[in-house]
Every structure is written in C-alpha cells, then in structure tokens.
Structure 1
C-alpha cells in the first residue's frame, strides 16, 4: 500500500488512541507503517506538524454560529450574549467529546494551539463567536484560548483518572461519573464565558 499523508495520520491516531503520546514517535510510526523513518518526512516535515495535523483530524469542523446571510462576513452580524454563551458551550462540548476519544488528546491539542492556533478549529470557531458578540478581536482571542484550555484541563483530568482505574477495580458507576464530568466541564465553561462577557462590558 502506498504511503500517503492520510495513511500516516490514520496510523498515528491509532497509535495515540492505543498507547498515548509518549509512544507516538516518528520511528514507532514508521515501524507500524513498514517504512523507513525518512519516508515520513516527504509527507510531514516533523513531529510538530504531525501533531498539528492530528489535532485537526481529532477535532474536525467545529459548530459555528448561524448567519442570516451566508454572504456576510463572520464579523458583520452581532449576536446576543445568550447566543454567544450557548454557541461557545456547544463548541466546547464538541471539543471535549472529540478529544476524550484519544489518550493524551488534550496534550496534542495544547501543542497544536501553541504551534499554530489557527489550525485548531475549535479555537477559531470560539474566537469568531466571541467577536460576533461585539467583543474586541484581542479579547475574543484571549477568551477562546481560556475556554479551550478549560476544556483541555477537564479532559486531562478525566484521562488521568481512567489511567488510574485501569490498574485497579472498575468503578461501580462510571456512567454516572461520566455525566458528572461533562456537567462539571460545562459549568466551568459557562463560568469562564460569564466572566469574559462581564469583563468586556466594562471595557
């Protein structure tokens, strides 16, 4: 089978899901694909680019705020604080669900955010939503980063708990705790959004 970027990313996601970021080296990836390590660099320049592209695959397209006129710029139509809140909450929920599927997924998104935040669809969508709420571009950028880091923090904690449970007896009611984790994350996200909107109104 020919080596393609698509095949590299699919295999890397599989390794990440099964073994975590610590075992996702370029050499391990090449071995899994049955190629020499140097062959990978025709398709991805380095591990940083690999992780950035993986972040895009993990997150996929983020939910976007609706527009009355598809031809309008994202920033020409204002939306209410309630619309900002509910849209960002939905975007945060989608990001959490996507990242939870992969071991160390929060770390991968964090690296991508540091390397090239424009490649992180959830961040871009959240920033656009805040800007549509009449928040300045600078504050919208900070707000989107804060919300996304809040989500990643919750996901990281959930992954750590799952690792601990893997070496002990299964939790008696893991389903109920998963629901509580989701609610806790949403509570934190709403608190951040409320603070952002309050701060913006005082500027």
Structure 2
C-alpha cells in the first residue's frame, strides 16, 4: 500500500474504532501501516493535524449536505456521522476546539445554510441565524459526546448501558428552532 494522507486517516479511523481515541497515537498508526513513525510526518505535520483530517472525514456528509436538508435532518445526520466511529464526538470536539478550526467552520456553515434556507426572512437577523446554527451544532455534539462517554463507561465498568436520549435530543432541536421561528 502506498502511504498517503488518505491511508493514514483510514488507519487512524480503524484504530479509533477498535481501541478508542486514547490509543490512537502516531506510533500506533505507523505500526498499523508497517512504516516508521517519521514516515507519517511527510503527510501530516503532527497529531493535531491528523485529528483534524479524521474529523473532516467523520463530518464530510454534513459538510457536503445540500441546503435543502432541514435543520432537524441535518442535526440527525450530524449525530449519525459522529456515532459511526467510537469516540467520534470526542475527535470532532478536539478538532473544533483548535484555533481557526476548519471543521468547526465547515459544520457551522452547513447548519447556517440549512437554517437560513428555512428561516430567512426580513424579521430574522443574521445574529439569530448564526446563534441558532451554533446552538444546534453544540447541542448535537454535546449530546453525542455524553452518549458515547456513557456507553464507554458502561463497557468499562460492566454497568448496564443507559438508553440514548434520541427523542430528548430531537425535541431539544425542535424547541431551539421554534424559538428562532418566534424571535
């Protein structure tokens, strides 16, 4: 296999899915690809850049979504993308927390397009639209982060897994959008 940024991201996602974020190290990715760790740095500058590349892959369906997708559907798509990978929400949060995060901008822009298509009117301010996009992104991300952390805790401790709060999350999104409709 030819070493490339794509093959490195694929290997890192495989490690993420099988072992979790804490075990996804540059050394482990290199070992997984049967290369020396230094070989990775020709394609990714450091672990932070790798985290961003992984997060971009995780949220690519959201980033490439059409503006006609409703904010509720987009929130559900975002949730699905995050849940596809073990610790997906943690990786995306780590990427979004970096200064000038491309992933944060991409996801927020996707939500802003969706919300603007459905709610833009003379009475709705740009600040209201942006605040709603911000709220939906962080509401969904936080909800999934807690769900994935709870699932991992249950697995690690042998506790019974709590059911995901899908209906509560969806209703929270609906209430946020209802607030925008009435603002």
- Same topology, TM > 0.5: yes
Q: Does 2:75 correspond to 1:92?
A: yes
Give the direction of change, closer, same or farther, for the CA distance of 1:196–1:25 in structure 2 (3 Å limit). Answer: farther
- How many matched pairs? 174
Give the direction of change, closer, same or farther, for the CA distance of 1:27–1:138 in structure 2 (3 Å limit). Answer: farther
Alignment partner for residue 114 of structure 2, among 129, 133, 147?
129
Question: What CA distance in whole angstroms lies between the structure 2 residues aligned with 1:60 and 1:126?
Answer: 13
Question: What CA distance in whole angstroms lies between the structure 2 residues aligned with 1:137 and 1:16?
Answer: 38
TM-score by length of 2: 0.82
TM-score by length of 1: 0.75
| Residue number in structure 2 paired with 1:65 | 67
The DSSP-based 3-state class of the residue aligned with 1:144 is: helix
Q: Does 2:86 correspond to 1:103?
A: yes
| Residue number in structure 1 paired with 2:35 | 35
| Residue number in structure 1 paired with 2:147 | 158
Asked whether the 8 Å contact 2:140–2:169 carries over to 1, the reply is yes
Asked whether the 8 Å contact 1:127–1:141 carries over to 2, the reply is yes
How far does residue 3 in structure 1 lie from its aligned partner after superposition?
A: 0.8
Q: Does 2:13 correspond to 1:13?
A: yes
Asked whether the 8 Å contact 1:143–1:193 carries over to 2, the reply is yes
User: Aligned-pair RMSD on alpha carbons?
Assistant: 2.3
The DSSP-based 3-state class of the residue aligned with 1:43 is: coil
Question: What CA distance in whole angstroms lies between the structure 1 residues aligned with 2:19 and 2:2?
Answer: 25
Asked whether the 8 Å contact 1:61–1:122 carries over to 2, the reply is no
Q: Give CA-to-partner distance per residue, 1:97-152, whole Å, 9 cap, x none.
A: 11112222112111222334443543221011233332444443332222111111
Asked whether the 8 Å contact 1:87–1:129 carries over to 2, the reply is yes
| Residue number in structure 1 paired with 2:174 | 190
Decide which moves more: 96-105 or 156-165: 156-165
Question: What CA distance in whole angstroms lies between the structure 2 residues aligned with 1:61 and 1:88?
Answer: 14
Q: Give CA-to-partner distance per residue, 1:52-99, whole Å, 9 cap, x none.
A: 111121122223223xxxxxxxxxxxxxxxxxxx71110010110111
Matches within 5 A, 1:129-148: 129-132=114-117, 133-134=119-120, 135-148=124-137
For structure 1, list consecutive stretches of 5 or more residues without a partner in the other structure: 67-85
